[in-house]
């Protein structure tokens, strides 16, 4: 019995248990409400269905959240990722729209390279402001969040740039091995980040910088370079996410592309178990957090919740998720339950004698 109890406590104490449990409950609730929610069918050699749509639509958020995880683990924050998504998509679509042959693979590759280069420069700008000049991360990235959105609209001249490029469209809507290509792009990015942070010393160094930057510097770690690197990686992830967002609709809107994705990315990181104070980070938890957010969005649409109440509904669910997986809240709740005596004990307790 003690062994079973120990295994149970170990299981519920695992950092991925509660996020995974919340995701399972959400999928189960959707299946009860709509029995065909988890059904998958094959059309023209491709898999289609709500689960596939959730994976495909969560791919951009997973990319942004991966970069955000590294930034947050250093004790920083990156509010500019939404603007970087808009800038990368705007640059790529603007270049493609001006070419005579938009279906040329060379044209698309050149557009992607240009957009990625600009995004890396902007990510380096964030890194310089934070790591070199010493501006607070929330202020430094807020500058690019505001200015970057304006830059995206300047690139598109305030218009929605539409393109007709099949190679570019494939980034968001293409298929490979029966699954959407976006899923493989997000998976490849996650494996690449995991390989560099878990198979090398980079991950431990990032966590040490987030835990105590001064102590890390005294130990010989160049904290500034590590912080700079995380912002560049975050910008690269946001750029690829911007390609997906604009490829899904074959157009670039400097005002709407990537709008508020930074908030969803931060939320996915927190749900995944990474502390905003910095230190240890969990990439697998971040991915589950992104899936939870996208499943919640799909739930809002599937249950025909009115737009007026959808944001409130999402906020309530998110608060519940954060409370459920918070160890302090669970410990306080379980402690309160242990302190409440059973009804029989209350009934058997002798009454105090009242003096005459």
H/E stretch holding 324:
helix 307-325
Q: Does residue 37 belong to any structural domain of this protein?
A: no
More confident residue, 301 or 26: 26
pLDDT at 356 over 50: no
What CATH number does residue 175 fall under?
1.10.3470
Q: Which residues pair with 49 in a beta bridge?
A: 40
Task: Indicate the pTM of the whole model.
Answer: 0.88
Residue 16 in domain: no
Strands (DSSP E) found in 34-118: 40-43, 46-49
Residue 111 domain boundaries = 48-325
What pLDDT score was predicted for residue 252? 94
Tokens of 175: 């298929």
Domain total in the chain: 1
Residue 315 corresponds to which tokens in the numbers above? 């906020």
> Helix, strand, coil % (nearest 5) of the chain?
70, 5, 25
* pLDDT of 345 strictly over 60: no
Give the C-alpha separation, 271 to 31, whole Å: 23
- Is pLDDT of 227 > 50? yes
The whole-chain average pLDDT of the chain stands at 88
In a domain, 138, yes or no: yes
pLDDT of residue 113: 97
Q: Is 52 within the bounds of a domain?
A: yes
336 occurs within a structural domain: no
Residue-wise pLDDT tens digits, 84-110: 999 999 999 999 999 999 999 999 999
Residue 287 pLDDT exceeds 90: yes
Identify whether 4 is part of a domain.
no
What 134-143 contacts at long range (C-beta under 8 Å, 24+ apart), as own/partner pairs, is 137/71, 137/75, 137/76, 137/77, 137/78, 138/77, 138/79, 141/77, 141/78, 141/79, 141/80, 142/79, 142/80, 143/80
Give the model's pLDDT for residue 351. Answer: 52
Q: What is the pLDDT of residues 297-317, one digit of tens each?
A: 888 887 777 766 777 877 787
In a domain, 238, yes or no: yes
Instruction: Report pLDDT digits (tens) over 182-203.
Output: 999 999 999 999 999 999 999 9
CA 203/CA 10 separation, integer angstroms: 25
- Please report the sign of the dihedral spanned by the C-alpha atoms of residue 88, residue 93, residue 96, residue 97: negative
| Residue 58 forms part of a structural domain | yes
> Is a pLDDT exceeding 90 seen at residue 7?
no
- Residue 312: per-residue pLDDT: 81
Region of poorest pLDDT, from 147-161, 234-248, 255-269, 298-312: 298-312
The answer to whether residue 3 scores a pLDDT higher than 90 is no
């Amino acid at each position: 019995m003690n062994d079973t109890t120990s295994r149970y406590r170990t299981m519920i104490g695992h950092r991925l248990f509660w996020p995974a449990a919340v995701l399972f409950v959400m999928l189960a609730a959707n299946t009860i409400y709509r029995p065909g929610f988890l059904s998958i069918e094959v059309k023209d050699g491709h898999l289609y269905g709500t689960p596939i749509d959730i994976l495909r639509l969560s791919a951009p958020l997973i990319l942004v959240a991966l970069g955000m995880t590294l930034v947050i683990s250093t004790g920083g924050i990156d509010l500019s990722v939404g603007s970087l998504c808009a800038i990368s998509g705007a640059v790529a679509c603007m270049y493609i729209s001006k070419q005579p042959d938009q279906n040329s693979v060379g044209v698309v590759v050149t557009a992607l390279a240009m957009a990625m280069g600009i995004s890396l420069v902007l990510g380096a700008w964030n890194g310089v402001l934070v790591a070199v000049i010493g501006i607070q991360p929330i202020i430094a990235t807020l500058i690019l969040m505001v200015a970057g959105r304006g830059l995206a609209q300047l690139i598109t001249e305030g218009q929605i740039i539409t393109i007709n490029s099949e190679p570019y469209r494939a980034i968001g809507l293409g298929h490979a091995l029966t699954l959407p290509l976006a899923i493989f792009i997000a998976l490849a990015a996650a494996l690449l980040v995991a390989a560099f942070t878990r198979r090398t010393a980079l991950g431990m160094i990032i966590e040490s910088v987030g835990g105590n930057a001064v102590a890390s510097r005294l130990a010989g770690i160049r904290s500034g370079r590590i912080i700079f690197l995380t912002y560049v990686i975050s910008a690269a992830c946001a750029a690829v996410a911007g390609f997906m967002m604009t490829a899904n609709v074959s157009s670039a809107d400097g005002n709407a592309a990537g709008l508020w994705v930074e908030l969803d990315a931060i939320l996915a990181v927190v749900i995944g178990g990474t502390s905003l104070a910095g230190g240890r980070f969990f990439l697998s938890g971040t991915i589950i957090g992104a899936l939870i957010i996208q499943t919640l969005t799909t739930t809002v649409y599937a249950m025909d919740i009115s737009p007026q109440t959808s944001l409130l509904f999402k906020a309530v669910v998110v608060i519940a998720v954060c409370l459920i997986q918070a160890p302090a809240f669970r410990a306080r709740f379980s402690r309160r339950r242990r302190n409440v005596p059973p009804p029989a004990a209350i009934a058997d307790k002798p009454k105090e004698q009242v003096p005459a």
